Amino acid sequence: MKLVQKDSEKVIWDQMRTHASNTTSPILPNRVGSGLPKLMLYLILFVCATYLVYTLKLLNTSNLPCPEQDLLFSTRDSLQNITLTPAIVEPEKTELKHIVFGIAASAKLWEKRRNYIRLWWKKEAKMRGIVWLDNPVKTQPDDGLPPLKISGDTSHFAYKNKQGHRSAIRISRIISETMRLGMENVRWFVMGDDDTVFITDNLVRVLNKYDHNQYYYIGSLSESHLQNIYFSYGMAYGGGGFAISYPLAKALEKMQDRCIQRYPGLYGSDDRMQACMAELGVPLTKELGFHQYDVYGNLFGLLAAHPVTPIVSLHHLDVVEPIFPEVTRVEALQRLMLPMKLDSAGLIQQSICYDSSKSWTVSVSWGFAIQVFRGILSPREVEMPSRTFLNWYRRADYTAYAFNTRPVARNPCQKPFVFYMTKVRLNSTSNETISEYARHRVPHPACKWKILDPSNLDKVVVYKRPDPQLWDRSPRRNCCRVLESKKKGLVVDVGVCEEGEISEV
Ligand SMILES: *[C@@H]1O[C@H](CO)[C@@H](O)[C@H](O)[C@H]1NC(C)=O
Ligand SMILES: *[C@@H]1O[C@H](CO)[C@@H](O)[C@H](O)[C@H]1NC(C)=O
Ligand SMILES: *[C@@H]1O[C@H](CO)[C@@H](O)[C@H](O)[C@H]1NC(C)=O
């Protein structure tokens, strides 16, 4: 709100101020007339002061004038009208259109890796971004991919790391190069690799928590404790993707080329980025939904016990096994995109409940997989990722992680019966998703427990209402309830926990 004052009003204001500081001067505002008693003047001053105090309190802005002209002859009603109509403008929420992606790719792997980008890139959703390549590649029009550009020449930058590759310099400059394209209405630049898959709805949810007008560097660490020691526990790992707010990108662009020259010995692009962030004094804001996935083998354990935070990205998809069995990597991810479309906020979120009639523990990872365990396992056990994966040095060493994991089964009888999602649809009458999970048939060790054997189960059906507001509330796992427990299958309901409802038998 801008202060607009007529000259005559200014005179009144100045005179009133003089009067306040010097009570002996007989000051009478020219518009009020000469016969006004002193009492009236004090009254005006009082009303004016009260108004000011209230306005300042309500609006939190300090530049509102005291509208003498209105107040001098005003009734209480118009005073109220003025006080009650402050223009508090809701800030516009961050949407996909405010994000510009910078994707690091290489011509050599483009044929294969572009299939990962195609999984999440939606031209029709007006996504903006550039794939930055080292060399030209063949393209077809309307291939459903972002525009391609060749990175600027970096041969004059020194690169002195014996293990790494100098393409790291080119890749670390992607945000600065994207910034220089001068796109409008950008709030965030988001970096990813060509083998990163983003769940863009959740990316938007996470970025909405932060003020894009401030300096933010948002991402996540490696799963590997040793990687984090070698590189940094304060670095956003590039493959998992990270976000840089517009003003920070602007500040980065101004200094990055000088900064990079100071660190020729670093290995990659993301440690170069972190070195410049350290020079700018901006720490990493950790968001656990970005996944670097520096692991080998099967991601199952990590996905089935995802932290209670929206899943934003998946990376190293060429390194790990397909996330659904018996299909290709890309087909597996395509399948994950189906529940994502119906309820992105709830994708892969875990809930834990019990089939008390059978003494089974049920863990639902919505849209991905179900585990049924013989016996009662506590939530604190089931919410830990099971070690279905190897560490970044291809060893089964759980001291390699800076988070808790558990063995797949502490007792052979506790090896979970796993069901992978095969189908999902929305019943628009009941406004519920119905997802089906089919048993993954693998041999189970012999078990002498008296507890009923879940091996007769073929499928699990899960009902869940889409919950786009899930992350507007404080983080909490959903509750699940076993509705039907038949010989061949279970029917489970997943939703917001009711008053007093907890995960117990
Ligand atoms: C009250 O405020 C509204 C909105 O600012 C304005 O349009 C209207 O004229 C005001 N009414 C009076 C009585 O001042
Ligand atoms: C959808 O939900 C309605 C209301 O609960 C139910 O009557 C109907 O049978 C459901 N349709 C399908 C195809 O499941
Ligand atoms: C279905 O649920 C979603 C999410 O709670 C809500 O936004 C939508 O309005 C609901 N639609 C109907 C038809 O009830």
Quick one: DSSP state of residue 408?
S
Boundary-marking domain end, from 62, 84, 106: 84
- Check which CATH number belongs to the domain holding 279 and give it: 3.90.550.50
Is the C-beta atom of 495 inside 6 A of ligand 3? no
Residue 16 included in any domain: yes
Residue 295 included in any domain: no
Judgement on whether residues 105 and 74 belong to the same structural domain of the protein: no
For the whole model, what pTM was predicted?
0.81
Residue 356 included in any domain: yes
Question: Mutate which of 423, 424, 425, 430 to test ligand 2's pocket (most atoms within 8 Å of Cβ)?
Answer: 430
Judgement on whether residues 78 and 114 belong to the same structural domain of the protein: no
Strand 242-245 with 217-219, pairing? antiparallel
Chain-centre distance for alpha carbon 361? 30
Q: Which two tokens stand for residue 7?
A: 């000259």
Judgement on whether residues 143 and 76 belong to the same structural domain of the protein: no
Is the C-beta atom of 85 inside 6 A of ligand 1? yes
Boundary-marking domain end, from 35, 54, 84: 84
pLDDT digit string (tens) for the chain, length 505 residues: 334 444 444 444 444 443 433 333 434 344 444 445 677 778 878 776 777 766 665 555 444 444 444 444 445 555 555 666 566 777 899 999 999 999 999 999 999 999 999 999 998 888 999 999 999 999 888 888 999 999 999 999 999 999 999 999 999 999 999 999 999 999 999 999 999 999 999 999 999 999 999 999 999 999 999 999 999 999 999 999 999 999 999 999 999 999 999 999 999 999 999 999 999 999 999 999 999 999 999 999 999 999 999 999 999 999 999 999 999 999 999 999 999 999 999 999 999 999 999 999 999 999 999 999 999 999 999 999 999 998 888 888 888 898 999 999 999 999 999 999 999 999 999 999 999 999 999 999 999 999 999 999 999 999 999 999 999 999 999 999 999 999 999 999 999 999 999 999 8
* DSSP states along 11-43: HHHHHHHHHHH-TTS----TTT-TT--HHHHHH
Question: Mutate which of 423, 425, 427 to test ligand 2's pocket (most atoms within 8 Å of Cβ)?
Answer: 427
* DSSP states along 141-201: TT-S---EEEPPP-TTS----SSS-THHHHHHTHHHHHHTT--SS--EEEEEETT-EE-HH
The predicted pLDDT at position 397 comes to 84
CA distance 75 to 214: 44
CA distance 498 to 37: 67
Helix (H) or strand (E) holding 334: helix 329-343
Those residues with Cβ within 8 angstroms of residue 364's Cβ, 6 or more apart along the chain or in another chain: 350, 351, 352, 353, 370, 462, 480, 492, 494
Residue 312 included in any domain: no
Judgement on whether residues 143 and 203 belong to the same structural domain of the protein: yes
Judgement on whether residues 140 and 28 belong to the same structural domain of the protein: no
Kindly report the protein residue whose alpha carbon is nearest to atom 1 of ligand 3. Answer: 431
Q: What's at 268, amino acid-wise?
A: G
User: How many helices (DSSP H) and strands (DSSP E) are in the chain?
Assistant: 14, 19
Judgement on whether residues 100 and 77 belong to the same structural domain of the protein: no
Number of C-beta neighbours around residue 293 at 10 A: 25
Number of C-beta neighbours around residue 41 at 10 A: 16
CA distance 308 to 170: 35
Boundary-marking domain end, from 23, 49, 84: 84
Judgement on whether residues 54 and 183 belong to the same structural domain of the protein: no
Q: Which two tokens stand for residue 163?
A: 């293990």
What separation in Å is there between the alpha carbon of 19 and the centre of ligand 2?
77
Kindly report the protein residue whose alpha carbon is nearest to atom 9 of ligand 3. Answer: 431
Kindly report the protein residue whose alpha carbon is nearest to atom 9 of ligand 1. Answer: 81
Burial of 345 (0-12, 13-18, 19+ CB in 10 A): buried
Quick one: DSSP state of residue 386?
B
Q: What range defines the domain where residue 346 resides?
A: 338-495
Looking at the 3D structure of the chain, how many domains does it have? 3
- Ligand nearest to C-alpha 467: 3
Residue 385 included in any domain: yes
Q: Which two tokens stand for residue 149?
A: 């550009």
Kindly report the protein residue whose alpha carbon is nearest to atom 4 of ligand 2. Answer: 430
Judgement on whether residues 356 and 405 belong to the same structural domain of the protein: yes
Residue 271 included in any domain: yes
Residue 115 included in any domain: yes
Q: What is the dihedral of CA 493, 496, 499, 505, to 10 degrees?
A: 40
Residue whose entry in the numeric block shows the structure tokens 């802005």? 61
Residue whose entry in the numeric block shows the structure tokens 């019943």? 427
| Distances, alpha carbon 124 to alpha carbons 97, 127, 145, 178, 301, in Å | 11, 7, 11, 21, 34
Judgement on whether residues 70 and 106 belong to the same structural domain of the protein: no
Burial of 26 (0-12, 13-18, 19+ CB in 10 A): exposed
Chain-centre distance for alpha carbon 247? 19
Atom of ligand 3 nearest to the CA of 468: 4
Q: Contact 215/247 with Cβ under 8 angstroms?
A: yes
Judgement on whether residues 147 and 251 belong to the same structural domain of the protein: yes
Residue 329 included in any domain: no
Judgement on whether residues 255 and 186 belong to the same structural domain of the protein: yes
**What residue ranges line ligand 2, CB within 6 angstroms?**
427, 429-430
Closest by CA to 186, choosing from 120, 106, 253, is 253
Residue whose entry in the numeric block shows the structure tokens 């279905």? 388
What separation in Å is there between the alpha carbon of 344 and the centre of ligand 3?
14
What separation in Å is there between the alpha carbon of 490 and the centre of ligand 2?
18
Judgement on whether residues 213 and 154 belong to the same structural domain of the protein: yes
- Check which CATH number belongs to the domain holding 443 and give it: 2.70.130.10
